Amino acid sequence: MATPDLLAFANAVATGAIRVVDLTQTLSPEFPTIVLPPEFGQCAPFRSEEVSRYDARGPAWYWNNFTVGEHTGTHFDAPIHWISGKDLPDNAVDTIPPQKFIAPAAVLDCSAEAAANPDFILTIEFVERWEGQHGQIAPGSWVLLRTDWSKKSYADYAGLREDGAHTPGPSPAVVKWLVEARDVHGFGTETIGTDAGQAHHFNPPYPAHFYMHGKGRYGLQCLTRLDLLPPTGAIIFAAPLKIKQGSGSPLRVLALLPGGSA
């Protein structure tokens, strides 16, 4: 294949011929995080302390120190995050080969189904129906679950009730199938977690984590604006921080689409 003209690519991005869509939630203290049983260690929420702001603490500059968990806000999950992926090679954010941070995306629109049922489960049948319309998912693609969940208020977004979270996610079967039959790059969602809110009841529990990371694939969570992406054709740039032996990190997820203005 002829080497694409990278300068032309850069120019296309600058002029809008290639459109850049930001799929990232703003990292802020208010954004909900995953909540685990209180006896377990918790995910640190984003917190920021101002160091100085053109004042006595620092006359000509403004800067902050922040604390955040690896899995706070829009974030990337590496295979080492799950027990099933703990011994795979190149399984941490600092060892994943960098070319893995750029990949195409297949965007599955489940927004209607999710609106009707917060516990909506993605099945093999649903994906096959989608493929009937948009073609088979290409190997090495991100599979992104569009539920429009990112448009909800924070309370509805977290979906917490007395028996835990009620948010959509994939079935154990579909995750296994996406890895084995479609060789996907990873799974991405708009919700807190690649798995459904009630996935602790599944077999195995948390199948998206179990199967994806078990096979060295990746996860993306708390994505937003998936409704702006075409079913196929978008390229995702998702490079996590290079944290030593990191299990994941908050990151900037960008989608590049063909075509001019919004």
Partner 1 sequence: MSTPLVRPKRKNPLARTRLPLLPQGARSRTAHGLTAAAAEGRFALQVCENCAHIPYPPRDACPRCLSARLTFGDVDPNGRLIAETTIRVSTDPYFRERTPWRVGTVKLDAGPVIVAHLHGDTVEGERVKLVLKLDKSGSAVMLALPAQETPNMQADPHLREMTSDPLYRRVLISDGRNAVGQAMAKAFSEAGASIVFIGIADPWKPFAGMAELSKIERVEIVPLDVTDTESVTELAAQNGGRIDIVVNTAEHVRPGGIIERGNLNVARDEMDIRYFGTLRLAQAFGPALRFRGADGVNSAAAFVNLLSVHALMNWPAYGANSAVEAACLSASQCMRAELRPGGVRVLNAFFGPLETEWFQTVPPPKLAPAALAKAVVAALKDGNEDIFVGDIAQDIRERFKTNPKALERELGSH
Residues acting as catalytic residues:
81
Sequence-ordered strand ranges (E) for 123-216: 142-146, 160-161, 164-165, 169-170, 186-189
From the CB of 222, what's the least distance to partner 1, in Å?
Answer: 13
End-to-end CA distance of the chain: 31
Burial class (CB in 10 A: 0-12, 13-18, 19+), 126: middle
Instruction: Give the x-and-dash track for 144-173 against partner 1 (CB under 8 A).
Output: ---------xxx-xx-xxx-----------
**Side-chain-facing half-sphere of 249: CA atoms under 13 Å:** 17
CB nearer partner 1, residue 17 or residue 51: 51
Nearer to partner 1, 11 or 42 (CB): 42
Part in contact with partner 1 (CB under 8 A); list of ranges 43-51, 97-105, 233-241, 243-251: 43-51
| Residue (41 or 59) nearer to partner 1, CB | 41
Which of 18, 21, 25, 32 is the binder for partner 1 (CB under 8 A)?
32
Report in angstroms how near the CB of residue 192 gets to partner 1 at its nearest. 10
Give buried/exposed letters for 4-37 (b at 16+ CB in 10 A, else e).
eeeeeeeeeeeeeebbebebbbebeeebbbbeee
Q: Give the residues lining the site for partner 1 (CB under 8 A).
A: 29, 32, 35, 41-42, 44-45, 47-50, 153-155, 157-158, 160-162
